[in-house]
Amino acid sequence: MIIAAIAILAGLLGLVVLYMRLPQFRTVTVSAARFLLELPEPVTARWRWAPSMPVRSVSFWLQCGVIALLLAAILLEAWRVTGISRTRLGVWLLVDSSYSMATRQGSGTRLDLARAAVEQAIRRAQAQAGNDAPCFRLSSFNQQRTDHLDDGTADATLALLKGLTPQPVGTNLALPLAALRLPASGGCAVSHVVVVTDRPAPSVPAGTDRALVWIDVAQPVDNIGISAVDIQRDPFSGAVREVAVAITATGTPPGDARMTILGPDGSPLLERRAEWSPYGPWRIVFEPAKSGTYRLALSPSGAYDGDDLAELVVDAGGQPRVDWRLADRTLPMRLGWALSTVNPTLKVVDDPAQAGPEPTLVVGPGYRRSPASPVALFADRHPILAGVNFDVLDQAGMNAARLPVGFTPIAADTARHVWIAARDVPRTAYIPGLPLAGEGPVEKASMLLFFNSVRWLMSEGSAPAPARWLTPKGTVIDAAVAEGDMTGEPASFGSLDDLVPRAAQDGGIPVWPWLVAAAALLFALERAYAARYWRVA
């Protein structure tokens, strides 16, 4: 912008210099005899350059005007002026198509109620539009927005509305709110956004050009459903040892409710009758006997059938897979660990440089009987030191090591020589050595230190085992969290009375194109004027 302005100013200065160079001619009548005489020598210097006012040069002033208009177009590029205000009514209809809209409410489903609400909104918009017919845009949303109609009439919108069905996926309420600020993409010029869902209206952002009408069609219904599935892992092996299922009831729960848990082979593992409590959900706990997919089935179905069936993939394996890099393999053989270098759950090495992304235990050169070295620095709340007697550590005479890069010391002696260290990312622990054989206090402390380290390393090394909610046909419901939440009161925002034409907010008309057009017109005028003095040979 600045460079262009400087260039235009330089052009204007050059134009002034050009006109200053043009000589000023005068018509003078002299006698021919004057040319026969010797002219006197000039007593003053004559300059080729001389100032001259181009007041009588119309072309000069026209060209100055062209440059001035171009300069103004550059400097005023962001200037807008308000055009002629025009009212319009364009309605963007966004209908919730998540699986919770399949909830039975009244004589139909919530999606049926949503269709009726949309039809009412269309009829009200037609009645309040005035002389101009309103335009409509139709979209559905769940975890993503799907556009069905960009610009259509009321009849076209109603025809497409009949084809909407609940999809096995959850709800993302940020999508309809984003429609308030999305730029116009052609088609219907949107002035109002109408959202029809079974979720209460969230906080509405201020300062948007489009008006919002949020219609919550949900009403309290009786429902029971699986609300949560929690797992408990073995702290040492990471295998799933216990599964806790929570069943929540809203409204009046049925007395004959029953939970059936099917094992990996499809046979019933257990069956429990409902034990409702006013103090919380009904809970069922079971221990998976083997690895596989367990299915949780709740009956009878409530108003929402997307929380009656769930499945859980359980890894109930016994021992971890260990990548043992030490020469002495006596300990893993005694523990019955499966040695494997493919996707290990634990790696045991003697060099911190060999640590990988998996949980890694770095083992030092071992313990020494003497001399004793007192503990001066320790993190007493770290899980690796749980239950360890520090007086025994003072007598152990452990081999100290240089603190590896990225590790935090957990125990060190008075000379700040590190005995035990750890880091969180990637999860790695350093201990002085393998457990000592024997029944003495030092031997027991070394054994406890080893298994504390393994337990800490594997506490976050196991993959999660989330439950998946299914439809009655067995289809997985994506992002099913809170889809079965039937608590809370409905909360709408705005009213159908708000569907009236609004003044168009087009952001104003830019000025610079008009300045450029004026400069072009002025340049054409200057060329036409200068053509009077052109000489044709």
Q: Which residue has the higher pLDDT, 367 or 249?
A: 249
Does residue 87 carry a pLDDT above 80?
A: no
> Encoding tokens for residue 500?
């009236």
Measuring CA to CA, how many Å separate 190 from each of 123, 180, 187, 194? 17, 9, 9, 11
Task: Give the pair of three-digit tokens for residue 202.
Answer: 């969230």
Scanning 129-200, the segments in alpha helix (DSSP H) are 154-161, 174-178
Is the torsion defined by CA of 143, 148, 154, 155 positive or negative? Answer: negative
Confidence at residue 351, expressed as pLDDT on a 0 to 100 scale: 86
| Statement: the pTM of the whole predicted model exceeds 0.75 | no
* Tally of CB atoms within 10 A around 14: 10
Query: What are the residue ranges of helices labelled H in 48-109?
Result: 58-75
> Which pLDDT belongs to residue 536?
47
Strands (E), 174-287: 192-197, 211-216, 223-233, 240-250, 258-262, 268-273, 282-286
363 neighbors 350 (Cβ within 8 angstroms) = yes
pLDDT in tens, 492-536: 999 999 888 876 555 557 788 888 888 888 888 888 877 766 554
Same fold, 87-220+488-503 and 223-315: no
Which of 16-30, 43-57, 416-430 has the largest mean confidence?
416-430
Of 53 and 356, which is predicted with more confidence?
356
Beta-carbon contacts of 65 under 8 Å, excluding residues fewer than 6 positions away, are 519, 522
* pLDDT of the residue at 464: 52
Report helix, strand or coil for 442.
helix
Instruction: Check if the beta carbon of residue 246 is closer than 8 Å to that of residue 298.
Output: no
Nearest to 427 by CA among 347, 364, 350: 347
To which residue do tokens 């005035």 refer?
A: 130
CATH among 3.40.50.970, 3.40.50.300, 2.60.40.1930, 3.90.870.10 for 223-315: 2.60.40.1930
Tell me the backbone φ, ψ of residue 33, rounded to 5 degrees: -65, -25
Neighbours of 417 (CB within 10 A): 17
Q: Which helix (H) or strand (E) holds 514?
A: helix 512-530
Q: CA–CA separation, 458 vs 337, rounded Å? A: 14
Render pLDDT for 384-416 as a digit per residue (tens, 0 to 9).
888 877 777 777 667 666 767 778 888 887 767
pLDDT digits (tens, 9 = 90+) for 185-243: 767 889 999 999 999 998 888 778 889 999 999 999 999 999 999 888 766 666 778 89
Sorted by where each begins, the domain ranges of the chain are: 1-20+53-83+511-537, 87-220+488-503, 223-315, 321-458
Q: What is the predicted pLDDT for the residue at 443?
A: 82
pLDDT digits 0-9 by tens, 38-67: 656 666 666 665 566 655 677 778 888 888
Closest CA relative to residue 519, chosen from 1, 62, 2: 62
Query: Domain 87-220+488-503: which topology?
Result: Rossmann fold (3.40.50)
Report residue 283: phi and psi, to 5°: -120, 140
